[in-house]
C-alpha cells in the first residue's frame, strides 16, 4: 500500500495512511516516519489494532526504545512497566483502573520533572466518551517565536523548576514540594535534531524561574503560560486512533468529558535524553 502523509493543520501534525503499526516497520518506512515526525512534530495513525500489549510496545520501535512509566501512583497495563492506562473507568471494587480521571488537564510536557524527559509519547484509543476528552497540542517552536523581547530577556539563560504534583489538574503546590518529583530544566531548549529553539515552561509542572523571588517568578510564569496555551492542533479521538508526538517541542492538554462515560487510552513513551539549553543572543 502507498504511504500518504497528510498535514493536519498549518502549524503541526500529519496523518499517516498506509502503515499498520502492529506489524514490523521496514527500514525505508522507518526513515520516512522519522523524517515526518521531525517535520510535523505529531503523527496520527487512524484505524490501528493491536492484538496484545507486546505488539503495542513495538509500535514505536521505528523511533526509539520504550521508556519506563515514572509517574507516581500510575496504573499499568499488563506488562507492569511500560504501558500506562489513562482512564476514568473503575473496576468491580470501585477502584480506578487508570489515571487522570475525567477532568480537564492543563498544558504540559510529559516527564519534564525528570532529568531526561521522554523524547516522545504515544497514545492509543481503546474506549471513548460520546463527547469531550479532546487532546489539544501546541507547537513550542511557535511559542518561543512569539515571545516579546522583555520576556525573552527575562528568561534567557535561566532554568525553570518542573514539578509533578499529585493534584494533576492544578498548578503544582509549593507546600508539597519536598514530597514531589522535580527537576530543573532550561526555560528555552534547543531541539537536538532541528536546532530550533523551544519554550519549555508549562502551567501544570512549572513552579519557579531561577534567580527570581517568589512573587516575580510567579508573575513571569503567568505571563509565559499563554504562549504555551495555544491550540495548534486539536484531536477529536476515534476508536483505533494512535498518535505519537515529539515531547521536546510540543505541549498538550485535555478537555473534560462526562465522568459517567468510559474513556480508556493506552500510553507509552520513547526514551529521551537531558534537555539542551539554548543560547539566546
Look up the CATH number of the domain holding residue 120: 3.60.130.10
- CA pair distance 180, 221, nearest whole angstrom: 20
123 & 19 share domain: yes
111 & 243 share domain: yes
Sign of CA dihedral 208, 218, 249, 167: positive
pLDDT of residue 171: 67
pLDDT of residue 79: 63
196 & 262 share domain: no
pTM metric for this prediction: 0.94
pLDDT of residue 139: 98
114 & 146 share domain: no
pLDDT of residue 244: 98
pLDDT of residue 178: 72
pLDDT of residue 196: 98
In-domain check, residue 243: yes
122 & 155 share domain: no
pLDDT of residue 109: 96
In-domain check, residue 281: no
- CA pair distance 240, 213, nearest whole angstrom: 47
168 & 221 share domain: yes
173 & 63 share domain: no
In-domain check, residue 278: no
In-domain check, residue 74: yes
C-alpha cell at 101: 480521571
Domain holding 217, by residue range, is: 140-228
- CA pair distance 65, 175, nearest whole angstrom: 36
Domain count, the chain: 2
pLDDT of residue 164: 86
In-domain check, residue 223: yes
pLDDT of residue 118: 95
- CA pair distance 150, 79, nearest whole angstrom: 48
In-domain check, residue 213: yes
pLDDT lower than 50: segments of the chain: none
125 & 33 share domain: yes
Query: Which residues pair with residue 267 across a beta bridge?
Result: 84, 123
Amino acid at each position: 500500500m502507498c504511504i500518504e502523509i497528510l498535514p493536519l493543520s498549518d502549524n503541526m501534525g500529519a496523518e499517516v495512511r498506509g502503515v499498520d503499526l502492529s506489524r514490523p516497520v521496514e527500514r525505508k518506512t522507518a526513515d520516512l516516519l522519522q523524517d515526518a515526525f521531525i517535520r510535523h512534530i505529531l503523527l496520527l495513525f487512524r484505524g490501528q489494532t493491536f492484538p496484545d500489549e507486546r505488539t503495542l510496545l513495538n509500535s514505536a520501535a521505528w523511533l526509539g526504545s520504550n521508556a519506563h512509566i515514572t509517574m507516581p501512583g500510575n496504573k499499568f497495563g499488563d506488562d507492569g512497566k511500560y504501558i500506562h492506562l489513562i482512564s476514568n473507568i473503575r473496576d468491580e471494587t470501585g477502584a480506578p483502573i487508570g489515571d487522570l480521571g475525567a477532568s480537564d488537564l492543563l498544558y504540559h510536557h510529559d516527564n519534564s520533572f525528570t532529568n531526561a524527559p521522554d523524547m516522545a509519547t504515544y497514545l492509543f484509543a481503546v474506549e471513548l466518551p460520546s463527547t469531550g476528552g479532546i487532546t489539544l497540542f501546541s507547537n513550542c517552536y511557535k511559542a518561543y517565536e512569539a515571545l516579546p523581547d522583555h520576556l525573552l530577556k527575562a528568561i534567557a539563560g535561566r532554568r525553570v523548576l518542573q514539578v509533578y504534583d499529585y493534584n494533576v489538574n492544578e498548578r503544582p503546590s509549593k507546600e508539597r514540594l519536598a514530597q514531589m518529583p522535580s527537576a530543573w530544566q532550561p526555560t528555552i531548549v534547543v531541539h537536538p535534531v532541528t536546532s530550533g529553539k523551544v519554550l519549555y515552561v508549562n502551567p501544570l509542572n512549572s513552579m519557579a524561574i531561577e534567580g527570581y523571588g517568589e512573587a516575580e517568578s510567579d508573575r513571569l510564569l503567568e505571563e509565559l503560560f499563554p504562549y504555551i496555551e495555544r491550540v495548534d492542533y486539536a484531536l477529536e479521538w476515534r476508536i483505533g486512533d494512535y498518535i505519537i508526538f515529539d515531547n521536546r517541542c510540543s505541549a498538550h492538554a485535555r478537555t473534560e468529558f462526562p465522568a459517567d462515560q468510559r474513556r480508556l487510552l493506552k500510553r507509552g513513551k520513547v526514551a529521551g535524553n537531558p534537555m539542551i539549553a539554548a543560547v539566546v543572543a
